[in-house]
Structure 1
Amino acid sequence: MVTRLRALFTQWTALVPVLAVVLLAFTWGRGLPGVLVALVTLVLAGAVLAAVHHAEVIAHRVGEPFGSLVLAVAVTIIEVALIVTLMADGGDKSATLARDTVFAAVMITCNGIIGLCLLVGALRHRVVHFQSEGTGAALATVATLATLSLVLPTFTTSKPGPEFSTAQLTFAALASLVLYGLFVATQTVRHREYFLPITRKGEVIDSEDGAGPSTRAAVISLGLLTLALVGVVGLAKGVSPTIESGVENAGMPHAVVGVIIALLVLLPETIAAVRATRRDRVQTSLNLALGSAMASIGLTIPAVAVASVWLSGPLVLGLGPTHMVLLVLTVIVGTLTVVPGRATLLQGGVHLVLFAAYLELAVTP
C-alpha cells in the first residue's frame, strides 16, 4: 500500500509541472475570468509542491551545497525573466518593480524563511546548530550586494532621483556578478565543507542517509523542476493583473505587488527550507535562504541593467529611509544570529517580527 501511494505521488509530481506549462500556454497574455484565476492558482500551488519534490531529489543526488544552489539559481533565473517581462509591459508604473521585488526577496529570505526555520528547528530540537563560517560569508555577501545595489542609488548625485547613472549601473551589475561568482566558487569548490550540515557535536554531515536516486532519476527531476518553476513564475504573471487590481481596490501601495510576486516565487524554497530544518539540517535551510537572496540580487541587477538599454521607462533602485532602516536592522540581527553558530526560539522570533514589520510597513507605509 505504501509503495502504491508513493508511486501515485511520484506520478502526480510528474504530471502537475506539465499541466502547469500547458495551462500557461493557453492563458499567456490573456485576461483571466474569476473561475480561471481560481484554477490557475490551484495549479500554481501544485507546481510549487512538485518543484519542492524534484528539488529534493536533485539535492539528494548531488549532495550539499549543490542541491540548494540548484533550486536557488533555477528559481531566480525564472524570477528575473518575470521581472523583466513585467517591466517591459508596465511602463513608468513598473519603474520600481525590480527594486521592490529584490528587496522583498531579501526580507522574505533573511527574515521570513530564516526566522521560520529557526523557530521550527528550535521547537523540535530546542537548539539548532549550523556553521558560522559559511553562513557568515553568505550574509556578508548579501549585505554588500544589497548596499551596492539598493542603498547607494539613494545617495548618488550623477542622476536625479534614486537612480544610477549608466556608468554606476554598469559597475553595480559587474560587481554583483563578480561577488556572486566568487561566492559560488567558495561554496562549491574551495570551502565546500563550511556549507555542509553539522551534528550537535559539530561533526560535518557530508551526505544524506540512505541510497540516493539514480542519475537518470535526477536528470528527469531536473527537467520537471524546470517545467514546474516556469509554470510557477508564468502563472504568477498570469494572475498578477488580478493581484494588481486587488491591491489598488484595497488602497494599498503598488509596491505590495512586488511583495506578493516574491512570496509566490519563493514558496518552493520556503517549503524546502522548512523540510530540511525538520530533518535537523538547518545549514541546508540557511544555504537556501541566503543563496536565494544573493542570487536574487546578483542576477537581477545585471539583467535589468542589460534590459534598461531597450526599456524606455526609468529604473528606480534606491530604497527609501524606512526600508533602509529595516535592511540595516536585518544585517545587524542576522550577524548576531550567525556568529554563535547556534540559535534558539528567540532568534527565530526576532527575525519573524522583523519580517512582520516589513509586511506591515509595505501595506501601510
Structure 2
Amino acid sequence: MRSRLGLSGLHWSVVMPVLAALVLALTWGRSLSAALVALAGLLLGGAVLSAVHHAEVIAHRVGEPFGSLVLAVAVTVIEVALIVTLMADGGDKSSSLARDTVFAAVMITCNGIVGLSLLVGALRRRVAVFNAEGTAAAFGTVATLAGLSLVLPTFTTSTPGPQFSPPQLVFAALAALILYGLFVATQTVRHRDYFLPVTAEGVVIDTDDHADPPSPRTALTSVGLLAVALIAVVGLAKGVSPAIESAVAAAGLPASVVGVVIALLVLLPETIAALRAARRDRVQTSLNLGLGSAMASIGLTIPAVAAASVWLEGPLLLGLGATHMVLLALTLVVGTLTVIPGRATPLQGGVHLSLLAAYIVLAVSP
C-alpha cells in the first residue's frame, strides 16, 4: 500500500486529485472555453475515482460503519459550502437552491444509490441481504428529516410561501442537527453492530477479509488526498456548470435540470463506492453510504443555510411542490417496504430506480 500512495509511487490516485486541484485553482472564477470544459470534465472524473479509492483506504483502516460515514460527511460538508457560496452570489434567484439540491440528493441516494446497490447485490447472490434494524433506523431518520425540513414549510401559515418563519427555521435547524448527531452516535457507538454487513444466514461480518489494514501513515495520506479530491470534484462541477446551463438552455429544458446534473456529479464518489461494496457482498455498507449521504445532506445543509439566512438576501424557500411531495411519499413508502424484511430481490432495486427515473423525467418535463 505504501508504494501506491507514497511519494515514490506516484500512483494515479495521487496524481489525479493534485492535477484536478491545480486546474481548479488556475480556472477558478474564469469563463471556461470548450477545451477547458472538456479538460475539467476529464479531471473531474479522475478526481471522483481517486476520492473513491482513498475513501476505501480510510474505510479499511477505521472499519465499518466509520468508513461509510467518512465519505458521506466529507462530500456533504463540501457540498454545503458550495450551496452557501452559490446562494450568496445568486441573490433572490437562488432562494430555492438549498431545497432543490437537498431534494435531488435525497432522490438520488434513496432511489439511485439504494436501488443500484440492491440490484447489483441481488443479481450477484439472488437475494441482497442487509441488517433490517440498522437500515430501518437510518431510513426512518431520513424520512423524519425530509418531512420536517422539506414538507412542513409548504403548509405553515406564519410566513407567505413555502418557507419557515424565523422561529420555525431555528427549530428545523436544531432538530436536523440533533437527529443527525443522535444517529451518528447510534451508528458508531451504541448499536454499531446494526450497521455492519451480514451474511445470508444473518451473521454479522465485523472484519474485512481481503487484506491487512493500511498503516496509519497511509491512512493519513489518504485523508489529505480525499479532501483534495472532493474539493476538486465540487469546484470543477461548479466550474463546468455554466456550460451545462448553456447546454440545458439550448435544448429548451427547465433550469432545474442543471441542479440534477450537478447533484449527480457531486454524488458520483458515493455511488461508485456503494456499487463496489455491493459487488463484494457488502450491501449493508452500500446502504450506509446511500442513506448516510441523504441524512447528512439534510442534517447539515438545513442548519447551514438557516445560519446563512441571517446575512443572505432574499427568502429561503424550503417547501416542496405537489409533484415532488408525491415522489417523496412514494420513496418513503417503497423504502419502508424494502427495508423491513432485511433482504431484497432485483425487483426492489428496479422499483427504486424507476422512482429515480420518474424524478429525472419530471425534472426534464415538469
Same fold (TM over 0.5): yes
The answer to whether the 8 Å contact 1:97/1:255 transfers is no
The answer to whether the 8 Å contact 1:87/1:95 transfers is yes
Could you tell me which residue of structure 2 aligns to residue 20 of structure 1?
20
Could you tell me which residue of structure 2 aligns to residue 252 of structure 1?
253
Deviations along 1:161-213, whole A, 9 cap, x unmatched? 10111111111011000000000000000000000000111111101012111
Could you tell me which residue of structure 2 aligns to residue 311 of structure 1?
312
Could you tell me which residue of structure 2 aligns to residue 221 of structure 1?
222
Could you tell me which residue of structure 2 aligns to residue 32 of structure 1?
32
User: Equivalences for 1:120-269 in 2 at 5 Å?
Assistant: 120-209=120-209, 210-269=211-270
Q: Which amino acid aligns with 2:357?
A: A
User: For structure 2, which runs of at least 5 residues remain unmatched after alignment?
Assistant: none
The answer to whether the 8 Å contact 1:142/1:293 transfers is yes
How big is the alpha-carbon RMSD for the aligned residues of Structure 1 and Structure 2? 1.5
State the shift of 1:13 in Å: 0.4
Whole-Å Cα distance in 2 between the matches of residues 290 and 244 of structure 1? 29
Deviations along 1:77-119, whole A, 9 cap, x unmatched? 0000111111111122211111111000000000011111111
Kindly tell me: are residues 25 and 5 of structure 1, through their superposed partners in 2, closer, same or farther at Cα, counting changes over 3 Å? Answer: closer
Could you tell me which residue of structure 1 aligns to residue 280 of structure 2?
279
Q: Which amino acid aligns with 1:292?
A: S
Whole-Å Cα distance in 2 between the matches of residues 181 and 4 of structure 1? 37
Runs of 4+ in 1 over 6 A off after TM superposition: 3-10
Deviations along 1:320-348, whole A, 9 cap, x unmatched? 00000000110000000000000001000
SS in 1 for 2:212: coil
The answer to whether the 8 Å contact 2:5/2:14 transfers is no
Could you tell me which residue of structure 1 aligns to residue 359 of structure 2?
358
State the shift of 1:9 in Å: 8.6
Whole-Å Cα distance in 1 between the matches of residues 135 and 85 of structure 2? 33
Kindly tell me: are residues 295 and 6 of structure 1, through their superposed partners in 2, closer, same or farther at Cα, counting changes over 3 Å? Answer: closer
Could you tell me which residue of structure 2 aligns to residue 340 of structure 1?
341
> Does residue 119 of structure 2 align to residue 119 of structure 1?
yes
State the shift of 1:6 in Å: 10
Q: Which amino acid aligns with 2:259?
A: G
User: For structure 1, which runs of at least 5 residues remain unmatched after alignment?
Assistant: none
Whole-Å Cα distance in 1 between the matches of residues 9 and 131 of structure 2? 34
Whole-Å Cα distance in 2 between the matches of residues 179 and 5 of structure 1? 39
Whole-Å Cα distance in 2 between the matches of residues 149 and 250 of structure 1? 33
Pick which of 87-96 and 41-50 moved more. Answer: 87-96
Pick which of 316-325 and 244-253 moved more. Answer: 244-253
Whole-Å Cα distance in 1 between the matches of residues 267 and 64 of structure 2? 20
Kindly tell me: are residues 236 and 266 of structure 1, through their superposed partners in 2, closer, same or farther at Cα, counting changes over 3 Å? Answer: same
Deviations along 1:292-324, whole A, 9 cap, x unmatched? 000000000011111111111221110000000
Could you tell me which residue of structure 1 aligns to residue 77 of structure 2?
77
The answer to whether the 8 Å contact 2:77/2:300 transfers is yes
Could you tell me which residue of structure 2 aligns to residue 327 of structure 1?
328
State the shift of 1:248 in Å: 2.0
The answer to whether the 8 Å contact 2:115/2:352 transfers is yes
Deviations along 1:120-179, whole A, 9 cap, x unmatched? 111111101000000000000000000000000100111111011111111101100000
State the shift of 1:279 in Å: 0.2
> Does residue 54 of structure 2 align to residue 54 of structure 1?
yes
Kindly tell me: are residues 341 and 123 of structure 1, through their superposed partners in 2, closer, same or farther at Cα, counting changes over 3 Å? Answer: same
Whole-Å Cα distance in 2 between the matches of residues 351 and 40 of structure 1? 32
Q: How many residues align?
A: 363
Query: TM-score by structure 2 length?
Result: 0.97
Kindly tell me: are residues 9 and 283 of structure 1, through their superposed partners in 2, closer, same or farther at Cα, counting changes over 3 Å? Answer: farther
The answer to whether the 8 Å contact 2:4/2:11 transfers is no
State the shift of 1:10 in Å: 6.4
